[in-house]
Structure 1
Amino acid sequence: MPKTQGVAAVQRALAILDTFAGAGSRSLADIAKITGLAKPTVMRSLVSLDEAGYVVRLTDGRYALGAKTFQLGTTYRANFNLEQHVLPLLQRLSQETLESSAFHVRERDSRLCLFRVDSPQLVRDVARPTNLAPLDLTSTGQVLRTARWTDRVDDGVHIFVSSGIYDALTASLSTAVFGHDGALVGAMTVSGPIERIRRADLRALASRLADASHQLSLVLGAQLPREVGAPRIISLPSAESGSP
């Protein structure tokens, strides 16, 4: 089925609204430069957005977001349910990789598994969601302890890989999920038996994990390109004890 094309006028209007992210106000020249649109085109869109309440023209001639965007943001926050966004991505990730997938957040010096989808295979690693565990040397712990927005911007998606830390049979791949203003929201992880992970195409697993975390970061407000680049795989030392 051919991809449905968007409406050009709507796409231009949304591109204009995007220019206000992180900025209090913008001049007509600023918006035209950022979007690459001609000033007359920008002006026509701004007039329509102003009439609808999405932008407002200030006394100095600059433009700022209008009350309608605040209303939408308030409604979004009131109705936002993290589970509705995370679980479908984890389910798809487990279907694609045939391994278990999970989403962890940091709680002081510990990590908490909020959501988990088990591998569809009979032989799999077993863990319970909501378990509180220390920030150990696993791939998940490494992400929650060290992931920085600047690393993502400079080097792309970092995928940490660890093995033998939860137990002698378990390996995992983890990467960071970011939100608004580059804040670290949590870690997305794929885990399974070491021997199966070793035989698997590690770059293919990393690519699927990077794609899922990228999509979730976009949903959570991270300012990232729509397309995700090739992930950078970072292997961690093995250990005798810990958790995946």
Structure 2
Amino acid sequence: MDTCSESPVPPKLRRGGIVAVERSLSILDAFMGAAPTRGLSELARATRLAKPTVLRNLVSLERSGYIVRLADGRYQLGARLLQLGEAYRAQFRLEDHVMPVLRELAAATGETATFQVREQEHRLTLFRVESPQVVRIAQVMPNLKPLDGTSISQALLRGDAAADAARRRQAVYFSAGLASPQTASLSTAIWGPPGQLRGAMSISGPVMRVSSADLDGLAARLAAAARGLCATLGAPFPEGMQPPELIRISPSEAPPPHEP
């Protein structure tokens, strides 16, 4: 007897949505990170849907080109998904996804929020939202600096997506007075699939204000914003993430800048 539930979709996802669509999407999700082909029973177990429900959805997905049924009765993803992926790639603009997150982060923390990428042995600020406070750290854009001991550099150099996901705890780096005696910052790495470093996100401000703030609270807010952005970029973290690990970088611990 098939005991798989007919309603695996969490209530929070079902409100205001269409259950049939969510079931079809859950079937497509079941192919991610799995073997190239899946059988009906495997899909039923992965989605917690009854076999007849899975089969009905597979017929519709196959008809639309999103799923292909092989001669041995197993299923694999169809070429229509590749077309969608190429369309997404062509239309994707990183700024459209990063800037709303930075705006929310700056508004919530009261500090400047930035997104930087690694360019060989340098870090480049791509996007920046200034602190709403009168006293803040000014910076001319675009801004290219050597990788150093600052929190943003350490996030770019030491970030490890697999390790963070395995222990369900993100690394958030904190530095104060390293690149500038007036500046303190917290930073964490941003990932895309498959574990590809896309950059690092940080909040920064005057060293006295940031250092005396609730650093654990700031780290938690930064980590949550980073998880949301990573999910948007196609690299979601596992469910049940623990509070982030706050790693304080002292001047004695900071590595010397890389040679150009």
TM-score range, shorter chain: over 0.9
String of CA shifts for 1:197-240, please: whole Å, max 9, x gaps.
Answer: 12211122111111111111011110423665421111111379
Q: TM (normalized to structure 2)?
A: 0.87
Question: Counterpart amino acid of 2:29?
Answer: D
Cross-structure match for 2:246: 233
Cross-structure match for 1:12: 23
Structure 2: which 5+ runs fail to align? 1-11
Alignment of 1:66 onto 2:78: yes
Alignment of 1:77 onto 2:89: yes
Matching of residues 203-242 of structure 1 within 5 Å = 203-225=216-238, 228-238=241-251
Alignment of 1:136 onto 2:156: no
After the TM superposition, list the runs of 4 or more consecutive aligned residues in structure 1 that deviate by more than 4 angstroms: none
Question: Counterpart amino acid of 2:139?
Answer: A
Q: CA RMSD in A?
A: 2.2
Alignment of 1:99 onto 2:111: yes
2:196 to 183, 187, 192: 183
* Aligned counterparts of 2:188 and 2:41: Cα–Cα separation in 1: 39
| Structure 1 residues 58 and 114: CA distance shift in structure 2, 3 A | same
* Aligned counterparts of 2:237 and 2:180: Cα–Cα separation in 1: 36
Q: Secondary structure of 2:194's partner?
A: helix
Q: Is the 8 A contact 2:184 2:206 kept in 1?
A: yes
Cross-structure match for 1:194: 207
* Aligned counterparts of 1:130 and 1:60: Cα–Cα separation in 2: 56
* Aligned counterparts of 2:16 and 2:145: Cα–Cα separation in 1: 47
Question: Counterpart amino acid of 1:18?
Answer: D
| Structure 1 residues 19 and 223: CA distance shift in structure 2, 3 A | farther
String of CA shifts for 1:140-197, please: whole Å, max 9, x gaps.
Answer: 1101111112221123211110101121111000001110111111100000011111
Q: Secondary structure of 2:140's partner?
A: coil
Question: Counterpart amino acid of 1:235?
Answer: R
How many residues get paired? 242
